[in-house]
Structures are given as C-alpha cells and as structure tokens.
C-alpha cells in the first residue's frame, strides 16, 4: 500500500518537476506556492529525509533537485484529488 503524501509535499514535488533549475531555491518556492517560508523549510527537511529531494549548493544558494525516488505520480494524484 502506498503511503499517503501531504498536499504541501505534493505541491512542492510537482513545482520542482516543472520549473527551471535556477528557480528551485527555497525563497522562490515559498513565493510561487504562496507557502510560509518556515513551514516550507520544515517540509523540505522532511522530504530530504525521505530521499525525495537533494539540496545542491550553487552560487551561494541552496537549490533543490528531485531524486529518482520522488513519488511524482502519487503527488499528481494527491493534487487532483484535492482540487
């Protein structure tokens, strides 16, 4: 059985999937998804622990990349279910 995924995590994963790499840093994600910055940092930390994303430091910023284990299909289903 698939583990449930939080809507906020699903939104972050789909955003990272669809956006250009230079827009994958926390402030931009927070702005685009209209999500509280502190809350977003907590979700990113949780998602890193689940091995769904990987932080990469470039140009004095931390960017986030998806890993192969990120549940993109489940994320899309979660978003569609909550529309």
- List per-residue pLDDT tens for the chain, 83 residues long: 467 899 999 999 999 999 988 889 999 999 999 999 999 999 999 999 999 999 999 888 899 999 999 999 999 999 999 87
DSSP state, residue 21: G
Mapped onto helix, strand or coil, the DSSP state of residue 29 is helix
Q: What is the pLDDT of residue 1?
A: 46
Do 23 and 58 form a contact (C-beta atoms < 8 A)? no
* 65: phi then psi, degrees, rounded to nearest 5: -115, 150
CATH 1.10.10.10 assigned to domain 7-81? The reply is yes
Give CA–CA dist 56/6, Å, rounded: 23
């Amino acid at each position: 059985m698939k583990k449930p995924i939080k809507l906020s995590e699903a939104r972050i994963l789909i955003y990272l999937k669809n956006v250009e790499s230079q827009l994958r840093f926390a402030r931009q994600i927070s702005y685009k998804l209209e999500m509280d910055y502190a809350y977003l940092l907590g979700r990113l930390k949780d998602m890193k622990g689940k091995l769904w994303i990987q932080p990469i430091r470039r140009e004095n910023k931390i960017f986030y990349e998806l890993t192969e284990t990120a549940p993109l299909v489940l994320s899309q289903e979660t978003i569609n279910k909550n529309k």
